[in-house]
A and B are shown apart, each in its own frame.
Chain A
Amino acid sequence: MASALAFESVTKRYRNGVVALDGASWSIPVGARTCLLGPNGAGKSTAIRLLEGALRPTSGSVTLLETTPDAPDYPAARRRTGIVPQSPGMYADLSTDDYLTLVRRLYGRGDVARVIEAFGLAPYRRTMLAQLSGGFRRRLLLAAALLSEPEVLLLDEPTVGLDPVAAHDVHAFLATAMRGRTTLLCTHNLAEAEALCDDVVILRAGRVLLHEPLAELRARVAPRLRVRARQPVASLVAALARRGLAADIDGDAAIVSVEARGAAPDLLRALLGEGIDVFEATPLEPSLEQLFLDVVRS
């Protein structure tokens, strides 16, 4: 399948010597919705900046819609790409209407009235950008990114700094906007990534630690059981330890990893056989947060 965007052995060293990307290689096929995860300083925003052409790689190559930032057809590729930057400054002398009109003219297409309606910006058409609240600023940025109906969406921390209500609104807009579009979502919010993306790229110190579908990642992780018994949790943990299983304590329950889901009945039978009165065993779906921590810590 053709790549919508690709990094090939990309290293980006800033002028102050900081290496943001270190030989990173990854690509996203057309139509994929991928989240870019990583701790602070992992190189996520640098990756977005390289794709938007604002930065040049120190070595390696970055490709957007099969063209590179130095190629003559790159501006055309950029016009097929919508970008939501991370918390930019806002003009005090441009209104919502002025800005969206500017965006439409630069992209050469788009229906300003439609996105104003879709993102609930109608009451703020004449409001200066700097006077918009955090939530409406983010809506405006999304509206601008989607105005030209782009094929590719690059989202750099689209909900960072928003209150839960505003973040929920933005998630709802994103869920609709990302449907059928190649999307790269750069985020710290693992729940957001889990809800909106199918694939995950995890960066750490500028290197790609992992790039695979979320479902495969989940399948690789040992299933976990949340077990409760009538006896004190310490007795339960001790019984698990006697069978070579380390458990975490969560309130009055023990959380334990098993080799496979099929192993759970044998474990429960063994615990009951030892006199541990198990009355609850719930399989736990590994959260992206857990997967992320496992990968980063390893």
Chain B
Amino acid sequence: MRILLGKELGQLGRSRAALVSATLIPLLLLVVVPIPQLIAFSKAPINFPELPGGGPPGLQSLRGADFFVQLLYPLLVTVCGMIVPSLAASYTIVSERERRTLELLVALPVRLTEILFAKLLSILILGVVVTVPLFAITATVVVILGVAPAAQVALLLVPLLSAVVCSTCLSLLLTLLARDFRTANNVNGILFFPVLTVTVTVLGGVGGSARFVVLGVVLLAIGAAALVAGARWITFERYLE
């Protein structure tokens, strides 16, 4: 497993296209887009009109910069955590299948579970390594501007890491469903939509900082379900088809 993980990480490191896609989008979502908004929110707080009946718990009492810290930024963080692994999976898993290089691995003394586990682990590592430092930049700005306490900002790591894990596990389903790069992108979109809906629902439906924990648990549950379903159905025969 360790040997195959080294191979996967080495190949990911050498893939410029994978690295550029996996870095550029998080850079936009976690740094370039939120920091100007954060500064704008902190300088000129916007008070939103009261919703009829107070609105769902997650949208009540959100004033000014709270809207950014409790709703907008967590949404960006979660989306980013979902995107990076799915992009990496397209490069590591689907391209291997599309180019038939998997046949080379099958001829070596390795099991399918080892091959896939190494790929998923490399995707997970890339997701964490790319997103956490970028998250840290914006989180530091949030704390410096005094928009939210450090503990509350640190809690955002829960949805971020959960999203990375969830998306990595969903990659296993991608392995089963997509035989080429274009299909992988389409399937990513299909898998992404329900997760995004769930994220918005949880962020808007649960009040206070508990929303981050609830969102993390929901994302991990989706990931676990994908992992179980994928592990149950995937075989070399299906993967080699």
Contact = CB atoms under 8 A, between A and B. Distances in A.
Interface stretch (A85-93, A225-233, A250-258): A85-93
B110 interface: yes
B240 interface: yes
A88 B15 CA distance: 21
Contact of A78 (B109, B235, B241): B109
B101 interface: yes
Nearest to A140: B104
Looking at A55, A79, A83, A106, the one whose CB has the most chain B CB atoms below 10 A away is A106
Contacts of A103: 108
A94 interface: yes
Given A54-B240, A55-B237, A89 B101 contact: yes
B237 A102 contact: no
B11 A89 contact: no
B107 A83 contact: yes
A105 interface: yes
Given A88-B100, A89-B101, A89-B103, A106 B237 contact: no
Range, interface on chain B: 20 to 34
A90 B102 CA distance: 9
A90 B107 contact: no
A107 interface: yes
Looking at A79, A105, A107, the one whose CB has the most chain B CB atoms below 10 A away is A105
Nearest to A82: B107
Contacts of A89: 99-104
B7 interface: yes
B110 A15 contact: no
A48 B109 CA distance: 14
A88 B3 contact: no
Interface in B198-241: 235-238, 240-241
A141 B101 CA distance: 12
Contacts of B104: 85, 88-91, 99
Contacts of A56: 235, 237
A107 B109 CA distance: 7
B15 A93 contact: yes
A56 to B, nearest CB: 7
Interface in A131-166: 141, 144-145
Given A93-B11, A94-B11, A106-B3, A54 B106 contact: yes
Given A85-B103, A106-B108, A54 B11 contact: no
A52 interface: yes
Nearest to B99: A89
A146 to B, nearest CB: 12
Contacts of A105: 3
A279 B97 CA distance: 63
A288 interface: no
A47 interface: no
Contact of A75 (B3, B10, B111): B111
Contacts of B11: 91, 93-94
A53 B107 CA distance: 9
A99 B108 CA distance: 11
Contacts of B238: 15
Contacts of B237: 14-15, 54-56
B5 to A, nearest CB: 12
Contacts of B101: 88-91
Of all A-B residue pairs in the complex, the 7 with the closest CB atoms, nearest first, are A89-B100, A88-B103, A78-B109, A83-B107, A89-B99, A89-B101, A54-B236
23 contacts: A14-B237, A15-B238, A15-B241, A49-B106, A54-B106, A54-B240, A55-B236, A81-B109, A85-B104, A85-B107, A86-B103, A89-B99, A90-B104, A91-B11, A91-B101, A92-B99, A93-B14, A94-B7, A94-B11, A102-B108, A106-B108, A144-B108, A145-B107
